[in-house]
Amino acid sequence: MVGKVLKKARRDFMFRYGRRLRQMEHWLVARLAMSMIWLLRLLPPDRALNFADRVARRIGPLVGRHRVAVNNLRLAYPEKSDAEIEAIASDMWGNMARLAAEYIFLDALFDFDPNATKPGRVEVRGIDHFVEIAGEKKPHILFTGHLGNFELLPVAAATFGMNITALFRPPNNPYLADYIHSTRRSTMGGLLPSSTGASFALAAILENGGNIGVLVDQKFTNGVETTFFGRSCQSNPVLGMLARHYDCDVYPARCVRLPGNRFRLEIEDKLTLPRTGGGSVDVRATTQLLADVVERWVREDPGQWMWFHKRWEMSGRRRKRGRAKEVS
């Protein structure tokens, strides 16, 4: 009996100690990040972004995730040389650093004005789609991937009067999550954290005729099996399920990073979603269609995607097969 009590006390102590250690680590990382943000704020936007890019290209290859990125790139592009693979990985680190630094300057960077006589930092393609979606009194789904500065898309939507709620995944670090959420909320309209029950919240928005924005290029444990760059992966079927239930239009949208710290935001034509024999949206085929669109984007600008993500890691196959029957 005494031994069991001591073991339980030891487990409780280790749990509390580990939790406090993680909390301290999160606080230290957040302090370091906020210090870097403070330093970058002292620079003009262009100098700050270029500086962040140069630093990340030096530091990125030293972290463990670089090996994941290089391995993924070699499997995706078996025809490319080691030098070409490393060049894409370097571009990726530069892009990610710019994305982080651009949070500081979002208001200054987004300067799109449809009445301007000369181009600014941001150009927009598919303006008719922005205006059409904003004016229609029915639900729409917009999807994108982690390309360029994807955070600028909700800012553009708000500029055109589009009421949209964007699903986002908060960082694991709670201190950084609070900062990023406050920054996003001030410029991007509605935000919905990705968590348990998020799909029900998205459904409620569509039920009321609202619009939602979703990132679709991350691994989804026990999701529908799809292919991406010819390799099996697991994808979230929720967008296809919502499109099937509400029979709403689905639009691809993306941000392309241009030279000179400029951006191109675009909404492409709405997708023609695959249907089952009964006429309803085919969830599995729709989920694959979304992956195909993102793959096309990534192939056009491979250095602007986050290759360090473990997109092709498979898990929960037994549960996944049961789930596949449910959504097919």
Report how far residue 263's alpha carbon sits from residue 253's, in angstroms, rounded to the nearest whole number.
13
State the sign of the Cα–Cα–Cα–Cα dihedral 74, 79, 81, 84. negative
Name residue, tokens 């100098």: 47
DSSP codes of every residue in 54-123? HHHHHHGGGSHHHHHHHHHHHHH-TTS-HHHHHHHHHHHHHHHHHHHHHTTTHHHH----TT-SS--SEE
311 within a domain of the structure (yes/no): yes
Is residue 218 located within the same domain as residue 126? yes
Q: What is the pLDDT of residue 39?
A: 79
Is residue 292 located within the same domain as residue 161? yes
In the 8-state DSSP scheme, what is residue 22? H
Rg (CA), the chain: 21
Other Cβ atoms within 10 Å of 319 Cβ, number: 11
Is residue 162 located within the same domain as residue 194? yes
Q: What is the pLDDT of residue 243?
A: 95
Q: What is the pLDDT of residue 199?
A: 80
Instruction: Tell me which of 102, 131, 146 is where a domain ends.
Output: 102
Is residue 94 located within the same domain as residue 143? no
Q: Which residues of the chain, if any, have pLDDT below 70? A: 1-19, 29-30, 168-173, 175-197, 316-328
Report how far residue 67's alpha carbon sits from residue 79's, in angstroms, rounded to the nearest whole number.
18
Q: The domain containing residue 147 runs over which residues?
A: 119-327
Q: What is the pLDDT of residue 302?
A: 97
Is residue 76 located within the same domain as residue 155? no
Is residue 250 located within the same domain as residue 318? yes
Report how far residue 213's alpha carbon sits from residue 168's, in angstroms, rounded to the nearest whole number.
9
Is residue 77 located within the same domain as residue 191? no
6 within a domain of the structure (yes/no): yes
The mean pLDDT value of the chain amounts to 85
The tokens of 116 are what? 């301007």
Q: What is the pLDDT of residue 151?
A: 86
Q: What is the pLDDT of residue 324?
A: 43
Bridge partners of residue 88, in order along the sequence: none
Q: What is the pLDDT of residue 325?
A: 44
Is residue 94 located within the same domain as residue 203? no
Is residue 97 located within the same domain as residue 129? no
Is residue 132 located within the same domain as residue 256? yes
Is residue 64 located within the same domain as residue 130? no
Q: What is the pLDDT of residue 296?
A: 98
110 within a domain of the structure (yes/no): no
The tokens of 126 are what? 């598919």
Is residue 186 located within the same domain as residue 292? yes
Q: What is the pLDDT of residue 191?
A: 61
> In 3D, which of 295, 306, 304 has the Cα closest to residue 230?
295
Other Cβ atoms within 10 Å of 107 Cβ, number: 11
254-285 tens-digit pLDDT: 999 999 999 999 999 999 999 999 999 999 99
24-55 tens-digit pLDDT: 777 776 677 777 777 788 889 999 999 999 99
Tally of domains within the chain: 2
109 within a domain of the structure (yes/no): no
Q: What is the pLDDT of residue 221?
A: 84
Q: What is the pLDDT of residue 198?
A: 76
108 within a domain of the structure (yes/no): no
The predicted model scores a pTM of 0.83
